Structure 1
Amino acid sequence: MITNEDEARDWLRGLPECDDAAMARLGLLVEMLAQENQRQNLVSAASLDQVWKRHIVDSAQLLPHVPRETTLPWMDLGTGAGFPGLVIAALRPECEVIMVESRNRRIEWLDCARIEMGLERARIVGSRLELVESQPCSVISARAFAPLDKLLALSSRFSTSDTIWLLPKGRSASQELDDLRNWRHVFHVEQSLTDPQAGIIVGKLAGGKGKTA
C-alpha cells in the first residue's frame, strides 16, 4: 500500500511506461492542476497535499492491468479533472486516449492541459456520453462516473469481447459487483494501491454486448 508522496513517485518510476519525460509531463500536470483548482473546483483542495498518491498513482495503477501490446484507443468516461485520462496519456503518449467530458469548463481545462503536456494523440470529446458516436475501444475506464449497472448500459456499445474495463469504485466496488444483474461478464475486484478500503473492478464483458435476453 502506498502511504505518502515519496512512495507514490517511487512506484511511478518503477512502471515500464515511466521515464524522465513521463515524470516531467506528470509534474507539469500537478502544477497546472494546483493553479486551475484556484479557479474551478477540479479536485478537493485537501487532496492536493497528496496529489501524487491521490490522483496520479490512483490513475496510473490501472496501467499494469493492460498488456503493453494492447491496441488502443483507450476511452475514459467522465474524465472530469483528467483522472485517469491525462495520466494514462502522459505515460503512454504514443497511444490514442479519448477523454469524454460534458462540462464546458472541464473541457476547456482538459484541452489546455493536453496541449501544454504535448499529448498529441490524446483528444477530448466534449459531449454527453449518450451522444458520442459508437466505436470499439480496447480499454474503457471510468472513475466515479456512474453506478456500475448504469455505466454498462451507457457504454457497452464501445466494448468488444476483448475490451478491458477498469473501473475504480472506491469502497463500493465489491457491493456494486455483487449487485450486478443480467450482464454476462468476467469482472473481479482488485485492491487499490492508494486506499486500503477501495477497489477497482477489472475484467471484460462476455460476448461484447453484455446484456442477456
Structure 2
Amino acid sequence: MIANEEQARDWLAGRPEMTPEAMERLEKLVAMLAEENERQNLVAAATIPMVWQRHIADSAQLLAHVPRETWNGTKGPWLDLGTGAGFPGLVIAAMRPGHEVLMVESRARRVEWLNRVIEELALPKAQVLGQRLEMVETRTVAVISARAFAPLDKLLKISLRFSTRDTIWLLPKGRSAGQELEALKASVREGFHVEQSLTDQDAGLIVGHLNPKGVKL
C-alpha cells in the first residue's frame, strides 16, 4: 500500500514506463496543477500536499492492469471519461507519450487547462474532446477509464458504444466499488472484478471487459 508521498514516488520510479523524461513531465504537471489550483478548483486543496499519492500514483496504477499488447497503438486509443483536472488521462499520456489518449471534458475552463498542459508537456498524441460524452463521435477504443465520473450502471450505458469485447474498463470507484458492481445484472457483472487500490486501503478499482453484443443494461 502506498501510504505517503515518498512511497508514491518510489513506486512510480519502479514502473517500466518511468523514464527520466516521463518523471520530468510528471514533475511539471504537479507544479502546473498546484499553480492552477489557486485559480480554479481542479482538485481539493487538501490533496495538493499529497498529490503524488492521491493523484499521480493513483492514476498511474491503472497501467498495471493494461497488457502492452492490448494498448499498443493498433487496437485504438485510451479513452478517459470526465477527465476533469486530467486524472488519470494526463498521467497516462505523460508516462506513455507514444500512445493516443483521448480525454473527454465538457467544462470550458478545464478544457483550456488540459490543452495548456498538453502543449507544455509536449504530448502530441494526447487530445481533449471538449464536449459532453453524448456528443462524442462513436469509435472503438482499447481502454476506457473514468474516475468519479458517474454511477457504474449509468457509466456503462452511456459509454458502451465505444467498447468491444477486448476493451479494458478501468473504473476507480472508491469505497463503493463492490456495492456498485454487485448491483449490476449478473450477465454484465461476470465480466468485471474489483481490485484493491494501491493508494487507498478503503478504495477499489473495477476492472474487466464487457461484450457489447446482446448486453442489456
- Regarding TM over 0.5, the answer is yes
Matched, 1:17 2:17: yes
Q: Scaled by the length of structure 2, what TM-score is found? A: 0.95
1:26 counterpart residue number: 26
Report how far residue 104 of structure 1 moved: 0.4
1:43 counterpart residue number: 43
Report how far residue 211 of structure 1 moved: 2.2
Kept in 2, the 8 Å contact 1:156–1:209? The answer is no
1:86 counterpart residue number: 90
Report how far residue 69 of structure 1 moved: 2.1
CA separation in 2, counterparts of 1:61 and 1:172?
18
- The one-letter code matched in structure 2 to 1:33 is L
5+ residue gaps, structure 2: none
Report how far residue 210 of structure 1 moved: 6.0
Describe the SS at the equivalent of 2:104. Answer: strand
1:212 counterpart residue number: 216
CA separation in 2, counterparts of 1:66 and 1:31?
28
- The one-letter code matched in structure 2 to 1:130 is E
5+ residue gaps, structure 1: none
2:199 counterpart residue number: 194
1:129 counterpart residue number: 133
CA separation in 2, counterparts of 1:144 and 1:210?
27
- Matched-pair identity in %: 66
CA separation in 2, counterparts of 1:162 and 1:66?
11
Q: Scaled by the length of structure 1, what TM-score is found? A: 0.97
Describe the SS at the equivalent of 2:138. Answer: coil
Kept in 2, the 8 Å contact 1:160–1:205? The answer is yes
For the aligned residue pairs, the C-alpha RMSD in angstroms reads 1.2
CA deviation string 1:91-150 (max 9, x = no partner): 000000000000000000000011101100000000000010000000000000000000
- The one-letter code matched in structure 1 to 2:208 is G
Report how far residue 68 of structure 1 moved: 1.3
- The one-letter code matched in structure 2 to 1:199 is G
Aligned length in residues: 212
